Amino acid sequence: MEIIGVLIAGLIIGLLGKFVAPGNRDNIPLWLTVLCGIAGVLIGYYLAAALGVDATRGIDWIRWIISILVAAVLVIIAATVTGRRTGRRV
């Protein structure tokens, strides 16, 4: 993959991962979402290869779904680690 392709895919996958993540995960900055997306693309690509997903001539839907899920998990982790507390403690 080229670096520009990874950055564009990371932006898209990061936003999709943010959308797929359950709950209110809008409290992390956009740059962190993009980083989670880029990491999701890279980890998802190698995870799919490790699981035996073969490359096809067309769009590799299984690789993209795995990348979106990995990005969603990374967005959840980033929101948990760096997110602001919106609720009040009792």
The pLDDT profile of the chain, 90 residues, written as one tens digit per residue, is 567 777 787 788 777 767 776 665 557 777 888 888 888 888 888 888 888 887 767 777 888 888 888 888 887 888 788 765 555 555
Q: What is the DSSP letter of 23?
A: S
CA distance 4 to 56: 22
- Per the CB < 8 A criterion, the answer to whether 13 and 68 are in contact is yes
Residue 62 neighbours by CB distance under 10 Å: 14
